Amino acid sequence: MVKVMNQNVFQACADQLMAQVHIPVELKKVASDELSNTGLTLCFSQQEALPIWWESELSKEQLSRLASLAKHKQVVATEFIPAGLATQMRKLGIQYMDAAGNAFISSGGIHITIIGKPKPKPKGRSSASTTEGKTGKAFQAAGLRVVFELLMNPDLANASMRTLAEASDVSLGSVNAIHKDLIAHRYLKKTSAGIRLMDREKLMHRWAELYPYALRQKLLIGRYTSDREDWWQSIRPTSGIQLGGEVAAYQLSHYLTPKDGLLYVQQASLTELMKTLRLRKIKEGEVGVRTIDVYEAFWKIADSESITAPELVVYSDLLATDEPRCLDAAERIKHEYLR
């Protein structure tokens, strides 16, 4: 059994989780067995107790072993899980939580995904710590809107806070906090010539990993289907409707033959979308011939001449599928459009 000294870490994981999901979370002791090396389970109200499996350190090499535990519904607990490793764990169905507040729980009617929380600052470090000022706000929903605008237009890094707030449709107060967080993470740097965007490619990849879970899922309008195989060919420029995912990848590179669909719309265009594309909402329990997920666009698309979403959004959509064909298409989009 894991040493009792880790009890504080387990409790920190549970406390962080409860603070963010606002539902009761409790640690309960059980007899140690092969499903738990901690003697503890994670409990949500009357839901099934999930065994907690402690790992002092995590690496990619451990994932295949941990994936075999996933079928037993264990929750892997550790002090901190980097974003890239966490993405791989979600793809493999490995539930996890860490002391920073990152978590992935999908069991017994509970579905939680919390990502982008920075590594906790160790106690006793000096105020000059490299984590000083990091809040993680840049990698939450509002922050991703701001980061997107900076990636699309790096000159905004040196613009006024009000200009950046108007461009991203985020409140001025939030933009100030997000801006400070980006400086603390060294993605923005103050120079003699003004503020510059740094490590754009690294920030772009981080944004693409976080977007589907931290922002896109909040914008889901509904899941639809269509009897028409060419349903998407009716979309016209400046319609307030843009293609994402597989169909957008087909439009951009003609590499991927699309199967399912993903659309971005502005609310004002929703009625026109249903009429023009003849979409029908999928009923509960129904398996449609093809699935078309419709999301509200967080960027301004009403006057756009493009029928595809921004390439960065399409790249992120493809990464989130975890399908080899889509991952190949994502790499093509990255090399052709995101350099």
DSSP string, 196-256: EE--HHHHHHHHHHHHHHHTGGGGEEEEEE-S-TTGGGG--TTSSEEEEHHHHHHHHHS-S
- Predicted model pTM: 0.65
Nearest to 48 by CA among 74, 66, 14, 23: 74
* 311-319 vs 200-214: helix crossing angle, rounded to 10: 60
How many CA atoms are closer than 13 Å to the CA of 110, on its beta-carbon side? 26
Give CA–CA dist 312/148, Å, rounded.
9
Q: 278-333, pLDDT tens digit by residue?
A: 888 888 777 767 889 999 999 988 777 899 999 999 999 999 988 899 999 999 99
Nearest to 127 by CA among 184, 57, 58: 184
Q: Which fold has domain 137-214?
A: Arc Repressor Mutant, subunit A (1.10.10)
Give CA–CA dist 35/52, Å, rounded.
8
Q: Average pLDDT of the chain?
A: 85
Q: Where are the domains of the chain?
A: 4-114, 137-214, 220-337
% pLDDT > 70, the chain: 91
Element (H, E) at 96: strand 95-98
**Highest mean pLDDT (candidates 94-98, 131-135, 274-278, 300-304):** 94-98
Tokens of 291: 């699935």
Buried b (16+ CB within 10 A) or exposed e, 231-248: bbeebeeebbbbbbbbbb
pLDDT band at 66; cut points 50, 70, 90 = confident
